[in-house]
Amino acid sequence: MLPEVRGWLRRRTSCVTDWPLGDLVAAKGTTTVSVVLPARDERETVGEIVTVIRRELGRLVDEVVVIDSRSTDDTAVVAARAGATVHAQDEILPQLKPLDGKGEALWKSLAVTSGDVLVFADADIRKFHPSLVFGLLGPLLTDPSVVYTKACYDRPLNGSSNGGGRVTELVARPLINLHWPRLAGFVQPLAGEYAGRRSALERVPFLTGYGVELGLLIDLLELAGLDAFAQVDLGSREHAPQSTEALGGMASQIMLAAWSRLERQGKIEACHVPSLRLAQFRRAADGHDVLLTDIGIAERPPMITMAA
Ligand SMILES: Nc1nc2c(ncn2[C@@H]2O[C@H](COP(=O)(O)OP(=O)(O)O)[C@@H](O)[C@H]2O)c(=O)[nH]1
Ligand SMILES: [Mg+2]
């Protein structure tokens, strides 16, 4: 690990217990805070998450916004009933052709929120604790040189206390250590819980799918430098785990995201791999069924360039 990263880890890693809620309310001053929850078919969890944030963090959080992506369940109704402002992803910036994915939802949230600071959290978290939000705000509300904070936590899976985060361990971490070693100090580089200053988030592009987190780390590192990052240990976090097959698609998006940044940074020759057709296999009565999934990545430009 680079000496610079060791120093950063010591200086910029904190624990949620370092940030008592009362201190943060005092430190908030006139800074406004928006919480953004991207959600697709999350009726089981989104209502509870919105309720907890509104009930426990009313003095810290100015708005809770759910970006609903074509849910086929009543995610939007449940979220609104719990007190969130709900936007249909495709109705934000309707002059643009809608794109798919979580990153698209996060990018569009910049257009419908007003907070100086934005906190993003997944809408499928079980046993949601308000520290997932206020922990992330600690470094941002108390140190003006911090522009972006990322959560780290254990990820319980199937009875093991830390078996989750398979795409992180098998794809993102090796890629980061190989190509962006200055980011190797992030315990959970793909965590869906992070917070940033609007002034920085509006100045970087957003990848539209699951590559959004990796893209933000790489692009914000270029924009603001390592010392503008902090990570906060929030304990433990559990979500609805995906099938290994689905994780294959997600991992492919992460690889394409890395590829796009390697090209942009001149680390590899431009060879234009915007998409791939992923072949996966399922055993069938007479052999194997082939499952073909088109994986593409698209990107939105920095929101600041959209002003007109
Ligand atoms: N608005 C919106 N949310 C999405 C989309 N895809 C995923 N999400 C949400 O983003 C969050 C993280 O997605 P998830 O599939 O759980 O990814 P994982 O946690 O990395 O396995 C969840 O709250 C999803 O509901 C999308 O296309 N649009
Ligand atoms: Mg999830």
Specify whether 20 is located in the same domain as 113: yes
Q: The domain spanning residue 76 has which CATH number?
A: 3.90.550.10
Does residue 305 fall inside a structural domain?
A: no
pLDDT at 273: 65
List ligand 1's pocket residues with C-beta within 6 A. 38-40, 42, 67, 69, 89, 100-102, 105, 122-124, 192, 239, 242
Choose the weakest-confidence range: 58-67, 83-92, 154-163. 154-163
pLDDT at 158: 81
Specify whether 143 is located in the same domain as 210: yes
pLDDT at 307: 73
24 pLDDT band, cuts 50/70/90, is: very high
Residue 141 CA, ligand 2 centroid: distance in Å? 27
Q: Which of 122, 166, 206, 244 to mutate to test the pocket of ligand 1 (most atoms within 8 A of CB)?
A: 122
Does residue 301 fall inside a structural domain?
A: no
Q: Do the Cβ atoms of 25 and 18 come closer than 8 Å?
A: no
Is residue 140 predicted with pLDDT exceeding 90?
Answer: yes
Specify whether 188 is located in the same domain as 253: no
Specify whether 237 is located in the same domain as 270: no
Mean pLDDT of 117-131: 96
Q: Which of 197, 220, 242 is the last residue of a domain?
A: 242
Residue 154 CB neighbour total at 10 angstroms: 19
pLDDT at 238: 87
Q: What is the pLDDT of residues 144-176, one digit of tens each?
A: 999 999 999 998 888 888 878 899 999 999 999
Residue 269 CA, ligand 2 centroid: distance in Å? 34
Specify whether 283 is located in the same domain as 177: no
Residue 121 CA, ligand 2 centroid: distance in Å? 10
Q: Do the Cβ atoms of 276 and 295 come closer than 8 Å?
A: yes
pLDDT at 80: 98
245 pLDDT band, cuts 50/70/90, is: very high
67 pLDDT band, cuts 50/70/90, is: very high
Does residue 198 fall inside a structural domain?
A: yes
pLDDT at 103: 97
Specify the residue for token string 């250590």: 177
Specify whether 258 is located in the same domain as 162: no
Residues whose beta carbons lie less than 5 angstroms from ion ligand 2: 124, 239
Of 104 and 161, the one with more pLDDT: 104
Q: Do the Cβ atoms of 34 and 148 come closer than 8 Å?
A: no
Does residue 52 fall inside a structural domain?
A: yes
State the total domains in the chain.
2
pLDDT at 156: 84
Which residue range forms the structural domain that includes residue 175? 3-242
* Token output for 65: 């916004």
Specify whether 254 is located in the same domain as 230: no
Burial of 222 (0-12, 13-18, 19+ CB in 10 A): exposed
Which atom of ligand 1 approaches the CA of 122 most closely?
23
* Token output for 159: 């009875």
Residue 100 CA, ligand 2 centroid: distance in Å? 16
Q: What is the pLDDT of residues 188-205, one digit of tens each?
A: 999 999 999 999 999 999
Mean pLDDT of 214-224: 98
pLDDT at 308: 62
pTM, two decimals, is 0.96
Specify whether 263 is located in the same domain as 177: no
Does residue 308 fall inside a structural domain?
A: no
Mean pLDDT of 75-92: 98
DSSP 93: S
With pLDDT > 70 as the criterion, what percentage of the chain qualifies?
99
Specify whether 165 is located in the same domain as 277: no
Nearest CA to 194 among 264, 266, 121?
121
Specify whether 262 is located in the same domain as 119: no
Mean pLDDT of 46-61: 98
